Each structure stands twice: as C-alpha cells, then as structure tokens.
Chains A and B, each alone.
Chain A
Amino acid sequence: MKILVTMKRVTDYERKVKIAPDGSHLITEGMNFVANPFDEIAVEEALRLTKAHGGEVVVFSAGPKDAAQQIRQGLAMGADRGIHLLTDKELDSDAVARLLAKVVDQEKPDLVILGKQATDDDANQAGQLLAGYLGWAQGTFASKHEGLEGPEEKAQKPGLAIEGGKVHVVREVDGGLETIALDMPAVVTTDLRLNHPRFTTLPNIMKAKKKKLDEVTAESLGVDLSPKVKMLRFSEPPARTAGQIVDSVDTLIHKLKNERKVIA
C-alpha cells in the first residue's frame, strides 16, 4: 500500500503572529516554523497503517526552500521518501489541491492523508478540494472510537481500518462520531484525536538525512499557482475586555437583562 501524506510548514502556534502595520501581510521574519500538528497526525497514521499492512509512505510539502525541514521531520518519524514542491508563492487551498492531484497522478497512492486544516490559515479545504478534483471518496475529521488514553492508542494501532478495498473512518461530527466506509483510493483528513504522534528519536533524525527527497516545480507539473483567494487585510482579533465579578445571581440576571440585553 502506498500512502501520500502532507506536511505543511506553518508558523509556530505557540508564538504570537505579527501583522504588518498596514495590515497587508503577516511578518514572518524571526518567526519559528513548525510542521502543522494535524499533518504530524497524518504521518503517524500512515506509518501505523504501513506497519500493519506493509507499504510506503511519501511525504509531500509545497513551500519555500526551508519547507524541506518539515519533510525531513516526516522522514525522521519514519516515512520513506519526500517530494518538495519548491515555491516562494503564497498558496491557497485550491492551488495545493491541484498540485496534489498531479502528484497523485504520478504516484498513484492508495490513500492520501492530510491534516483537516493547517494551524496557520485554518482553511480546512485542501482535502475536500483534492477529493473533488480526483473524484475520490473522502473521509474528513478522522478520529478514533476510543480516545487517546485507550489501549489501542497505547499499542500504536492505526485508527483507520482497512478491509476489502475499503477504508473505515470514524469521523468527528457535531453530534458525536460517525463511521463511514470509503472505496479506495480515498482521501482522509485527520482530527486531533486520531492518534498521538511518536517522538522523533535522535538516531532517526540522523537517518532521515540519507532518505530521498525530490524537488519538483509547479511548472514541471503544469499547475498554475495563481491564487483564487485574495487576502484583503489582516487584523488582530478584538482585545477581550476585562470581566466583571458580580456579588449575587440577582445582579447577574439584572445585568444580563438590562445592560447586555442578552436575556429577556
């Protein structure tokens, strides 16, 4: 089985993002970059699946030269090889999906696993668009029957079940969990509770340096990267105003009714 996974280079979610004074762009200078945590879950899942069923895990990332670092991280976790689409352009989800569709044409994986979203733009679209372009089934927000504390997670069992050419996905939906069976090949996007990614060990970080990492360009894939989504302006979320401590329930109700007018 061949699994294609994505590993996006994103700004560190533990650090505060800086916005250019005119609101036109984000300041990335001096920022720390990490792999999108949902993508790490995707790599972990792919590794567990190939451990159970055999096969190969290919890591894909589109981004600047430094995005190779995030691919290396996937390789250090245990993936077999990497593909780096080299570009300095800002990519929207649609461009990424069209790039991935081309890579899928070449690689012919049985499964593509992506993070449900990336923690920088939180778009939550690439997986769905990719499934659309490919005409494949999709299972988004993949989770697990039992939580991260369960014995299956501890035994590092995959959360996706593959049987008779179908992949069974437990999805996190509003009311709870939904289990669906997808015909393979298929696209799956990961939610937080699918697994807990392994630690990259120091020896594996060293071994990853020797793994194959191919660089490709958008031109060679024949994909036009011009964005369909235009970024108009960036701004800080409004600052939260300080809360008030009230002395009784009656005052609370009075305030909610008369000052905030949120209850009748």
Chain B
Amino acid sequence: MSEAFHGTDLYQVDGLLSEDERMVRDSVSRWVDERWLPIVRDHYRAGTFPIALSTELGEMGLLGSNLTGYGCPGLSGSTYGLAMMELERGDSGLRSFASVQGSLCMFPIWRYGSEALKEKFLPKMAKGELIGCFGLTEPDHGSDPGGMITKAVKDGSDYVLSGEKLWITNGSVADLAIVWAKVGSNEATSIRGFVVEKGMKGFSAYNVEGKFSLRASVTSGLVFDEVRVPATHLLEGTGGLGSPLSCLNQARYGIAWGAVGAAIACFTCALDYVKERTQFGKPLASFQLVQAKLAEMYTEIVKAQLLSVQLGRLKDAGKVTPVQVSMAKRNNVHMALEVARTCREMLGANGIADEYPVFRHMANLESVYTYEGTHDIHTLILGKHLTGISAFE
C-alpha cells in the first residue's frame, strides 16, 4: 500500500495550498487508502472496475467536482486537481473513471446541453447513479479525430447515427454515451455531440479484452447501427472539433495532476523498499546509484507539482490556455512514466509482482501517455505554439 503523500516538504508545496484545498486532498487521500487500495489488486487481476463504488464517489463529491449547479459540488480547479492527484495515487483507472464522468460526460452536457438534458442527467451523474462514456476515438481515427466517419443524419425529429467508436472508457457499463458524429458534410466543422442512451435500438457495446494496461477500468467498443436519437438529445451548443477538444482540455487538466499522484505512489514505495532491502550487507538506499535515482525522481515530482499548482491557479483565475494544459499533461505523464519505470527497476524482481503497486502504475501510465492526446501530439501542439507552424498534417 502506498502511503499518503502530504506535499513535498522540501519545497513547501503544502504551503501553497489553502486550508480547504488541503482538507479536500486529505479527505480523498483517506478515502483512497481505506476504500480503494485494499481492493485494487483483485480488480486489476480480474480486469474489472468496482462499479459499486460509483455512488460512493458521487457522495464524496468526486464526480463533476468543479461544475456548478445541478447537484455538482462547484469546487475550484485547484481543489479538483488535488482530488484527481489522490485518486490516481490509487490507480489511473480510478482517476479515469472520475475524469470520464466529470470532464468528458458531465462537462459537455453542462456546457453545451439544453436545460432539459442538464436537468435530466447531471444530478444523477453527480451522484454516480448514472454512468457516462465519451465516444470520440474510432478504430481508424485516433490522433486525428477530425477524420471520423461516424455520421448523424437528420430524419424528421430524429438523428440517425451510424458508425463505430473504439477504446471507449466505461463504454459497456455506461448508461449514456456522449457521441461525436458528423452531420451532413465530411468536414470536421460538422462534428456535433449527442447523448445516446443505453437501450436505444441499434446501440451496442463490447469489451476490449487482453489489455496489459488500465486493467481496473473498462475499455470498450461502441457500435451504432442506425440508432435513432431524438433531436432533443443533440448537444445544441456543439459545433466542430473544438467542442470535443474543449472536453479533452478539462480532462487533460485533471490528468496533469493525476499523473503526479501515480508518480508519488511509485516513489514512496521504492523509497521505503530501498531503505529496507539489504544487499552486499547494506541497505540499497546506501548506494550512490540508488540515491541518484531517488534524487532525480524527487526533483522531477516536485517540479511537476509546481507546474500543476500554477496551472490550477491559472485555471481558477480564468486564464488557462489549452497549450498550458498540453505542456502539463505532456510533462507530468512522461515524468510519471519515467519514475514508474525507474522504481520498477529499483524493486528488482519484486518490481514485476502485483504485491507492490509499481508495475501496475507503470503499465497504466502507458495508456495515460497515449490517451487524451498522445505525448507526441502534445509535443506538436507546443511546437505549433512556438513556431506558428503546424506539423500535424
């Protein structure tokens, strides 16, 4: 079990947080220690998410935490970030569950949906009674979602959806899906969002099997075989690729914080391990190569935390830009993955067993590195920002 991490004393990051921010962090931390860590290994082995925890997450205020009204807690961005950090200290799958529900499903309804849709879905989603999934990626369009082929054709007072989505978190356990499809032309400008409910005729989901990563999270494929969706389920404010990207921007913000939590879990585990484990008659911690790794990792974690704290302050001041979020997602997830790999190595053979959380985090972070814009895509976003030249196409 990884121990709760109370900020980095060395740089007094704790002192940058307000009283309620610390209280929220500590409360989520305790929840993760008591409710999640005892069960995560079994779920990871079985490849399941403990869906019964959904309502508990809701009660804790961890679903749609930073949204206001409709039964949502209305927390600040920084507080929300700290909560995500603690959740991901538990597992990236746990944080993914909260990110998908809050940032990818509740956010678009809250931001782009009609009053009727908000009333219908948001309060129950905040309580965790209804679970959502977000369908953007397709089998043939990942980094390039603008090329999607899923279509929504207007027919009377309905839209008829056809197409397929893949790699969709929570797909087969969700009560509703936020689905992105093109209405009319093949241009990315015609992308719009729809709320598709479980049970609508022609809508089905299946599980992606054989994952080595993010196993305590459900990943699915969604199939739309001429699904009739009432026009009232169109997210009326959506239009173009910018709409789904605005959701991803919310989620990536949480991931930037979350990755720090995963890194902390690995780091504290490895630190304890090298102090206890003796080789050549001395604790591993007494060897210079080991100390160099610890010093390097610790420094990187502190830097990532400071990046997150400042990102949170910018968000709360309403000044955050997508490029800033890209930088933090890119840096922090990469940092966490490197830390996890180093810690794995430091645990020797124990590093490959699930008695310790390190390999699990390491494997998870491979997904986090890829989803919500791959590491390289964020590199290109920064490159475009710096040069004014897009290297995507």
Contacts and interface: CB of A to CB of B under 8 A. Distances in A.
Interface of A: 12, 14-15, 30, 32, 34, 68-69, 72-73, 76, 199-206, 209
A200 B24 CA distance: 8
B20 A205 contact: yes
B6 A202 contact: no
A209 B75 CA distance: 13
B3 interface: yes
Contact of A200 (B9, B27, B83): B27
9 contacts: A12-B6, A14-B3, A69-B22, A72-B23, A73-B23, A76-B23, A199-B60, A202-B24, A202-B83
Contact of B60 (A15, A72, A201): A201
B19 A202 contact: no
B30 interface: yes
B20 A201 contact: no
Contact of A30 (B9, B60, B62): B9
Contacts of A200: 23, 27
Contacts of B3: 14
Nearest to A76: B23
Nearest to A207: B73
B349 to A, nearest CB: 24
Given A202-B60, A202-B83, A69 B19 contact: yes
Contact of B20 (A12, A32, A209): A209
Interface string B73-87: 111000100010000
Contact of A205 (B9, B24, B34, B62): B24
A202 B9 contact: no
A32 B6 contact: yes
A57 B164 CA distance: 55
Nearest to B80: A202
B27 A72 contact: no
B283 to A, nearest CB: 14
A172 to B, nearest CB: 23
B61 A201 contact: yes
B61 A203 contact: yes
B65 A202 contact: yes
B59 interface: yes
Nearest to A199: B31
B61 A202 contact: yes
A100 B346 CA distance: 53
B186 to A, nearest CB: 43
Nearest to A196: B34
Contacts of B74: 206
Interface string B151-183: 000000000000000000000000000000000
A44 B24 CA distance: 18
Contacts of B27: 76, 199-202, 205
A69 B23 contact: yes
B14 interface: yes
A72 B75 CA distance: 17
Counting from the closest, the 3 A-B pairs by CB-CB distance are: A202-B61, A203-B61, A200-B27
A131 B34 CA distance: 35
Interface in B8-63: 9, 12, 14, 19-20, 22-24, 26-28, 30-31, 34, 59-62
A200 B30 CA distance: 10
A202 B75 contact: yes
Contacts of A209: 20
A61 to B, nearest CB: 14
A198 B26 CA distance: 13
- Best-surrounded residue of A68, A203, A204 (most CB of chain B within 10 A): A203
Interface in B71-104: 73-75, 79, 83
A209 B76 CA distance: 14
A88 B4 CA distance: 29
A14 B4 CA distance: 10
Contacts of A69: 19, 22-23
A70 to B, nearest CB: 10
